[in-house]
Amino acid sequence: MSNPRNFSTFSNDDWATYISGVGEGISTIEATQNRSSDASATEHDAILADSINSFIDHTQLKTDATLAQINQLCEEAKEYSFKTVCVRLDHVARCVAALKDTSVGVACVIGFHEGTYPTTSKVAEAQSALQAGASELDIVLNYPLLLSPVPQYSSAYSELRELRKEAGSRAALKLIIETSQLDTDQIMAACTLAHAAEFDFVKTSTGFNGHGATVEDVRLMRSVVSFLDQQEAKGRVTMVKASGGIRTWEDTRAMVTAGVTRIGASSGVAIVKEAQGKSASGKDSADHPGGY
């Protein structure tokens, strides 16, 4: 299939045709993934265990999160060198200050968690997050647009492009597609729209609506964006983030093996300790009631 460049002119019918073509094209990538060897699985696991901290967005998204919990989140992120902390807008400035002069970024959720807020509201929230210093934005797709009898692909894409335009190169964008609410075709459509809008990641879940990440959904998402990256032939690599219900090293290992490069979890410390064969000192995800 060809890769059209002017998606802004697409009608809903054009999108439907394009998305159908993506579905026809991903079977080759899926077959390649299924043939991958696991002969060096033990070596791979050892390497992954030593670097798993760099995959983790250490997360606290409860609406009643306290300053003490946010401070603890940041201290743990520094201690374990997590990739980012992921918080709501109210806590971005505090996290940016706490993590100054470290390698830990700050991700802010946008349109969380329903995704149905007006585009103007999402853009304003993104502006505020960027001004506060966020380096990544985790944006909830207005996924009900894909659930209507006639999916509103054009409207969904227009919102995503507006958000990409607002962020520019200032922040990486992740699209939370809420896989628990979508069927296979709708997941494929959401990933296609995210890729067309030049988002950097597609992400499984908010952690607040239905089941979280599954290996099957991650594999599908990985297949779609890999196929589209290859078709575009510009060297772009669109990534996959898994979130929702990931609390153990085995959960994390399964997601990375399925193709993710980022994990959203409130249990990051326990995951790292388990991966390294250490005791979690009796703590579990209840210490970080972050919704993940």
Tens-digit pLDDT profile for residues 132-174: 999 999 999 999 999 999 999 999 999 999 999 999 999 999 9
Segment 278-284 long-range contacts (CB within 8 Å, at least 24 positions apart): 284/247
- At 28 the pLDDT is 66
Average pLDDT over residues 241-245: 97
The reported pTM is 0.91
Residue 244 pLDDT > 80, yes or no? yes
| Catalytic choice (83, 122, 241, 251) | 241
Q: How confident is the model at residue 46 (pLDDT cuts 50, 70, 90)?
A: confident
In this model, does residue 283 exceed pLDDT 80?
no
Mention every residue, 6+ apart, whose C-beta is less than 8 A from residue 30: 219, 223
Whole-angstrom Cα distance, residue 275 to residue 281?
14
Pick the catalytic residue from 57, 138, 200, 251: 138
State the average pLDDT for the chain.
91
- Catalytic residue flag (residue 241): yes
Instruction: Say whether 122 is catalytic.
Output: no
- Total length of the chain: 292
List 240's β-bridge partners, or say none.
202
Estimate the crossing angle of helix 12-34 against helix 184-196, to 10 degrees. 100
Query: For position 31, what pLDDT does the model report?
Result: 59
Q: What is the mean pLDDT of residues 233-243?
A: 96
Q: What is the pLDDT of residues 251-266, one digit of tens each?
A: 999 999 999 999 999 9
Work out the average pLDDT over 64-91.
98
What is the rounded average pLDDT of the residues 212-224?
97
Using CA atoms, how far apart are residues 157 and 153, in angstroms rounded to an integer?
Answer: 6
- Which one of 57, 203, 217, 251 is the catalytic residue? 203
What is the per-residue pLDDT across 83-130, written as a single tens digit (0 to 9) for each?
999 999 999 999 999 999 999 999 999 999 999 999 999 999 999 999
pLDDT of 10 higher than 70 = yes
Neighbouring-strand partners of residue 87 = 108
How far apart (Å, rounded) are the C-alpha atoms in residues 271 and 119?
36
**Confidence class for position 29, pLDDT limits 50, 70, 90:** low
Tokens standing for 284? Answer: 């579990």
